[in-house]
Amino acid sequence: MKTFTRRDFGWTLGKGITATALLGSTSLACGQSAKNENKKLGVALVGLGSYSTYQLAPSLQDTEHCYLAGIVTGTKEKEQVWQDKYGIPKENTYNYDNFDTIANNEDIDIVYVVLPNSMHADFSIRAAKAGKHVICEKPMAISVAECDAIIDACNKAGVKLSVGYRMQSDPYTKEVKKYVAEKTFGNVHFVSSDAGYISNGNPDQWRLNKELSGGGALMNMGVYSIQTSIYGCGSNPSSVSAQEFSTRPDYFKDTDETITAQFEFPNGAVAHMMTSHNANGNRLKSHCSNGWFELDPAHSYGPISGRTSNGNVISFPHQRQQALQMDDFAKHILMGTPNVAPGEMGKRDMIIVEAIYRSIAEGGKKQTLDLGNMGIVG
């Protein structure tokens, strides 16, 4: 595949401190954890498109354990604007040609890759080789092989890796997982999940370019439906079959418009998901043996809303999901807390994505999923 740069498309686009358990010295380990609680890790955003501009950068003003320390952009005009707005030193400002010299910058602990999907693997691997912890925006990559390459690079470099699954840090998601784990409404029998929006923008945008995006709605919004189907049921699926629909082939020339898929789970539960770039969808509902629970909206930046069959409203104070997400990763690095969205989760979802595309290519044939050894659920 041809290598693309941000400049080609004009797209607006660690060694860090690792908490370790010190064997045989509980008091020392606790002291180290307490000491690290007062540290803040520097984050560099790679790509200053709309998500970095309107979500990540503002969220980094609300984080407790990390802060915006640097930027990487291919648009020269943006450098001064961001430096002035966020107080970013000139020496913490990089472009795509000198990116690898970020290895010498002790201010930057975490690199957050916010680029078109086809560029995730390249910059995540380069960030790892530079000794920086990595957050790779979803989807993790455009193939399982690329996911493996990212994971391998981070392991070899001894750095931490997370995927930009903001919903994994959202309190509504945690509440849903709690309902499933504690069987609040009994065993889950059927899950329905929709994630989509109507795209009427520039037909030349990178999301509609398969070489840049790796796919259409499934690669963009579909990962939300996959994730909610899984944590709405509480286990990884054992099989999937899928269908693709197109009503605007003149606009969606290169990528999938709407995809539906059906999952089967080892515990006997089933799930149906829909994702689209031409239909609105933003809902999760789990039907159980003794009732149901749902989130509607379920995937948006918030506020989320939920309800249950016993008449309760699921409600939490609104917080920026991206701030919670980045703080969770920083705490994982600093204090050894669980990594709520590890690279293995991104790989698992890409295994499912590839199986969905394979099912469509084979006329909806059921695809067996061997995810039992992944060690990742939810």
pLDDT tens digits, residue range 54-105? 999 999 999 999 999 999 999 999 999 999 999 999 999 999 999 999 999 9
Length of the chain: 378
Q: Which pair of structure tokens corresponds to residue 309?
A: 């069959």
Of 357, 353, 352, 354, residue with least CA distance to 369: 352
Of 47, 136, 64, residue with least CA distance to 330: 64
Residue 374 lies in a domain: no
| 112 and 230 housed in the same domain | no
CATH number (domain holding residue 130):
3.40.50.720
Taking 60 as the threshold, does the pLDDT of residue 22 lie above it? no
Between helix 343-361 and helix 222-231 the angle, nearest 10°, is: 110
- Segment 185-189 mean pLDDT: 98
- Segment 126-144 mean pLDDT: 98
| 153 and 189 housed in the same domain | no
| 62 and 159 housed in the same domain | yes
Residues 6+ apart with CB under 8 A from 304: 170, 172, 295, 297, 298, 316
Strand order in the sheet with 367-368: 313-314, 306-308, 291-295, 278-288, 188-198, 270-276, 258-264, 239-245, 367-368
Distance separating alpha carbons of residues 194 and 291, to the nearest angstrom: 20
Taking 60 as the threshold, does the pLDDT of residue 318 lie above it? yes
Tell me the CA distances in angstroms from 43 to 20, 61, 66, 324, 360, one per residue in order.
21, 12, 7, 14, 39
At residue 62, the pLDDT reads: 98
Is residue 348 exposed (0-12), middle (13-18) or buried (19+ Cβ within 10 Å)? buried
Arithmetic mean of pLDDT over the chain = 92
Active site residues: 138, 224
235-239, 348-352, 373-377: segment of lowest average pLDDT: 373-377
Residues 212-233: tens digit of each pLDDT: 999 999 999 999 999 999 999 9
Domain boundary among 151, 166, 181: 166
CATH number (domain holding residue 280):
3.30.360.10
| Percent of the chain whose pLDDT exceeds 70 | 90
| pTM for this model (two decimals) | 0.91
80-84: long-range contacts at Cβ-Cβ below 8 A with a sequence spacing of 24 or more?
Answer: 82/48, 82/57
Residues 6+ apart with CB under 8 A from 50: 12
At residue 216, the pLDDT reads: 98
Residues 10-19: tens digit of each pLDDT: 433 333 333 3
- Segment 231-243 mean pLDDT: 97
Per the listing, tokens 């504690």 go with: 182
Residues 252-277: tens digit of each pLDDT: 999 999 999 999 999 999 999 999 99
Q: What are phi and psi of 162, to 5 degrees?
A: -140, 155
At residue 375, the pLDDT reads: 79
- Segment 326-348 mean pLDDT: 98
Q: What are phi and psi of 20, to 5 degrees?
A: -125, 145
The total of structural domains in the chain comes to: 2
At residue 92, the pLDDT reads: 98
Residues 27-49: tens digit of each pLDDT: 334 454 555 777 999 999 999 99
Distance separating alpha carbons of residues 241 and 234, to the nearest angstrom: 19
At residue 374, the pLDDT reads: 80
| 127 and 233 housed in the same domain | no
Can you tell me whether residue 338 is helix, strand or coil? coil
- Segment 245-253 mean pLDDT: 96
Q: Are strands 258-264 and 270-276 parallel, antiparallel or unpaired?
A: antiparallel
At residue 27, the pLDDT reads: 37
Per the listing, tokens 């899950």 go with: 191
Confidence of residue 376 (pLDDT cuts 50, 70, 90): confident
Question: Domain of 193?
Answer: 168-316+343-368
Can you tell me whether residue 251 is helix, strand or coil? coil
| Helix, strand, coil in percent for the chain, rounding step 5 | 40, 20, 40
Domain boundary among 124, 143, 166: 166
Residue 377 lies in a domain: no
